[in-house]
């Protein structure tokens, strides 16, 4: 495993996981509606109305009975793994704000919100746990997180998605706490951007890499969609950094120093441009072609330690690209994930753990439900 992969895994480490509560019912009720899509790009960056994502153009047969069964089983398995304090994690890595946030997003992708829906209580408990790990500096991290900006990005995304979909939270006290935590989280991201335009493992503006940068860009996009202020200069500098990380083959290197392309970080690079408000661009097209050549589901390496991380971003990139990119990619990743689901309902991830792998797989599989604002333009 390379240095970046080790850091991503270390950022998920924390204390041992606590006891698990009973699972919610297997049959989810009708999910809550999503917040409406923004009328135009919230970041006021180049926008091309002719460039369509899959948001309003679903491909034929997106949802299947097999998909519904897979998601139902996966959500029930995931719910059983939540600790009494609201956290999620695995025996190997323990409790983690990153995994807790991803699990919360997986439930929200089914339409559940704090206090609403069959898994609303799970989302509410996850929210409480993440809020309890928000510091006065704005950093969201467990006590033992080794590369906290990964977890901070995922946690800030979760908080801003909850804030945007609920108008604050299930009650006035939580709403105020959520608003303040989200503001501080965004300000920390803005203040720790380095001179190159990206972010790195720790909340200091020293160096940067594509893998950490995408986490911050998604959090900033979710914040802006929810009505929080995000400086345009921060996004402009991040776009410039991501552009300079692309290699001639269309893939993305890890940092600005010379290095090879790899499909997981290339998926993250493409998604970064989309979430920064760049929708129709030659660099995006080159990146999509690179992904199709090197990571098409059914032809790639499912044993990669970055398999779920890569497909989490690749599915988003193809969804935002829409058209033939989405209609080719979606059936392939849908069938691959359904095929690899375990009988108990989980997905195995030997690098980070099954809770992480299951949360990531569920987020991908539920993208066609179109509940999460982050996937909307």
Which residue, among 257, 237, 238, has the nearest Cα to 247 in the 3D structure?
257
Mean pLDDT of the chain: 87
| pLDDT computed for residue 247 by the predictor | 98
pLDDT at 206 over 80: yes
Name, in order, each residue with C-beta under 8 angstroms of 35's C-beta and a sequence gap of 6 or more.
164, 165, 373
Residue 338: the pLDDT is: 98
- Residue 312's Cα: distance from chain center in Å? 7
Task: Kindly give the residue spans of alpha helices, DSSP state H, lying in the chain.
Answer: 3-10, 65-80, 97-108, 120-132, 148-166, 172-191, 210-225, 232-244, 263-275, 282-294, 307-321, 323-340, 354-365
Would the pLDDT of 358 be above 60? Answer: yes
142-167: pLDDT as tens digits: 866 778 999 999 999 999 999 999 97
pLDDT tens digits, 109-139: 999 999 899 999 999 999 999 999 999 999 9
pLDDT in tens, 259-270: 999 999 999 999
Query: Is pLDDT at 27 greater than 70 in this prediction?
Result: no
pLDDT above 90 as % of the chain: 75
Which residues neighbour 75 within 8 Å (Cβ) at sequence distance 6 or greater?
Answer: 28, 106, 107, 110, 119, 362
pLDDT for 138 equals: 97
Token pair of 84, please?
């009494």
Provide the residue ranges of all domains of the chain, joining segments of one domain with +.
58-375
Global pTM value: 0.87
Q: Taking 80 as the threshold, does the pLDDT of residue 14 lie above it?
A: no
Handedness of CA 346, 351, 355, 356 (dihedral sign): negative
pLDDT-derived band of residue 37, with 50, 70 and 90 as boundaries?
very low
Q: What is the pLDDT of residue 29?
A: 41
Is the distance from CB of 208 to CB of 200 less than 8 angstroms?
yes
Q: Which CATH class is domain 58-375?
A: mainly alpha
The residue-averaged pLDDT of 185-192 equals 98
Q: Which two tokens stand for residue 119?
A: 């898994």
- What is the Cα 174 distance to its own chain's centre? 23
Q: How many helices (H) and strands (E) does the chain have?
A: 13, 2
Whether the per-residue pLDDT at 19 is higher than 50: the answer is no
Distance CA 151, CA 201 (A): 9
55 pLDDT band, cuts 50/70/90, is: confident
The b/e string for 93-128 (b: 16+ C-beta within 10 A; e otherwise) is bbbbbbbbbbbbbbbbbbbbbbebbbbbbbbbbbbb
> How does residue 23 score in pLDDT terms, banded at 50, 70 and 90?
very low
pLDDT over 70, % of the chain: 84
Mean pLDDT value of segment 319-344: 97
Residue among 94, 99, 130, 90 nearest 114 (CA) = 130
Q: According to the model, what pLDDT value does residue 39 have? A: 35
Cα–Cα distance measured from residue 27 to residue 69, given in angstroms and rounded to the nearest whole number? 10
| 360, 74 Cβ separation under 8 angstroms | no
What pLDDT shows up at residue 36?
Answer: 40
* pLDDT band per the 50, 70, 90 thresholds, residue 299: confident
């Amino acid at each position: 495993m390379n240095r970046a992969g080790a850091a991503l895994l270390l950022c998920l480490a924390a204390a041992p996981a606590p006891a698990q509560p009973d699972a919610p019912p297997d049959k989810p009720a009708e999910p809550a509606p999503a917040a409406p899509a923004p009328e135009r790009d919230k970041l006021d960056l180049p926008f091309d109305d002719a460039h369509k994502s899959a948001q309003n153009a679903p491909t034929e047969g997106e949802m299947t009975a097999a998909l519904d069964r897979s998601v139902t089983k996966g959500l029930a398995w995931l719910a059983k793994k939540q600790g009494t304090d609201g956290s999620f994690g695995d025996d190997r890595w323990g409790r983690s704000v990153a995994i807790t946030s991803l699990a919360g997003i997986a439930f929200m992708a089914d339409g559940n919100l704090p206090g609403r829906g069959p898994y609303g209580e799970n989302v509410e408990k996850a929210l409480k746990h993440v809020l309890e790990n928000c510091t006065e500096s704005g950093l969201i991290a467990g006590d033992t997180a080794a590369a906290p900006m990964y977890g901070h990005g995922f946690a800030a995304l979760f908080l801003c998605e909850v804030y945007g979909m609920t108008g604050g939270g299930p009650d006035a006290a939580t709403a105020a706490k959520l608003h303040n935590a989200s503001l501080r989280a965004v300000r920390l991201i803005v203040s720790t951007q380095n001179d190159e335009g990206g972010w790195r493992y720790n909340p200091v503006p020293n160096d940067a890499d594509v893998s950490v940068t995408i986490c911050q860009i998604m959090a900033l996009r979710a914040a802006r969609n929810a009505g929080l202020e995000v400086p345009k200069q921060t996004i402009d500098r991040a776009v410039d950094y991501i552009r300079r990380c692309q290699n001639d083959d269309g893939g993305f290197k890890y940092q600005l120093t010379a290095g090879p392309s790899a499909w997981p970080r290339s998926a993250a690079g493409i998604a970064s441009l989309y979430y920064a408000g760049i929708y129709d661009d030659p660099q995006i097209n080159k990146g999509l072609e690179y992904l199709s050549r090197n990571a098409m589901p059914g032809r790639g390496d499912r044993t990669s330690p970055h398999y779920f991380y890569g497909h989490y971003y690749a599915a988003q990139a193809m969804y935002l690209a829409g058209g033939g990119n989405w209609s080719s990619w979606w059936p392939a990743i849908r069938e691959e994930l359904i095929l690899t689901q375990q009988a108990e309902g989980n997905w195995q991830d030997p690098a980070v753990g099954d809770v992480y792998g299951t949360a990531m797989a569920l987020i991908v599989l539920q993208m066609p439900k179109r509940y999460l604002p982050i996937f909307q333009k």
